[in-house]
Amino acid sequence: MAAKLEILCLAVLCTLLAVPHVRAENCRLSVSQSRIDYGAIRREVLVESAAITLGTRSLNVNVFCAEPAAMALRFVGAAADGQEGFRFGRQGRFRLSLRHAQVDGRAVGWAVAHLPGEPASGQLLPGQALVARAAGLPVVGQRLTVQVDIDTELPADALDVRNETSLEGLGSFELVSLAVPPSQ
């Protein structure tokens, strides 16, 4: 009796945009790469579990302003179920965490824009903007650099497909400053 080997191939792609040189008044935002490609996933190499973690990928976001400005970042994309990240395919999610942030070479932390007194973990969530802060106050500067870690997970049943299937997560980074109020 011959066993038929099922081969599942998912092309997994996450597109993160900043429209590489977006202008917000006197500022320019750029990302080091606009696409994160997880490649093909084959079912035979996966361990049985409820969810599949695709591993952390990183990119850099840079903001350059002609005049000093208070800076905040937001990611605009479809929210995943439960608002704990952004939609990836029909059932998956990806999370964005800001790491190693600096304004003009000085390390900064984050606060949620609409909750100015509350420090934030650095995780970008749907509908939120994170403000660069130091010593409890918004930081004003001309250059913001930050590493963005992308963690993507899929439920195991997302791999129950017969043919090669592409999964995508889409969105864009936006600079929020005093000159550029949040869009609704």
User: Which tens digits make up the pLDDT trace of 144-168?
Assistant: 999 999 998 888 777 666 777 777 8
Q: Which amino acid is at 148?
A: V
CATH domain 10-177 topology: Immunoglobulin-like (2.60.40)
pTM of the model: 0.78
Q: Of 148, 167, 164, which is closest to residue 38 (Cα–Cα)?
A: 167
CA 50 to the chain's CA centroid: 23
pLDDT of residue 120: 72
Please report the pLDDT score of residue 177 as a whole number: 62
Residue keyed to tokens 């952004």:
86
What is the domain partition of the chain in residue ranges?
10-177
Instruction: State mean pLDDT over 111-120.
Output: 72
- Least confident stretch, 67-81, 120-134, 153-167: 153-167
Nearest of 152, 144, 94, 103 to residue 124 by alpha carbon: 94
Residue 132 confidence (pLDDT) above 80: yes
How crowded is residue 40: how many other Cβ atoms within 10 Å of its Cβ?
12
- List, for residues 82-108, the tens digit of each pLDDT value: 768 999 888 889 999 999 999 999 999
Determine the pLDDT at residue 17.
Answer: 46
Q: Is the confidence at residue 117, as pLDDT, over 70?
A: no
- Has residue 27 got a pLDDT over 60? yes
Tokens at 14, concatenated: 């996450």
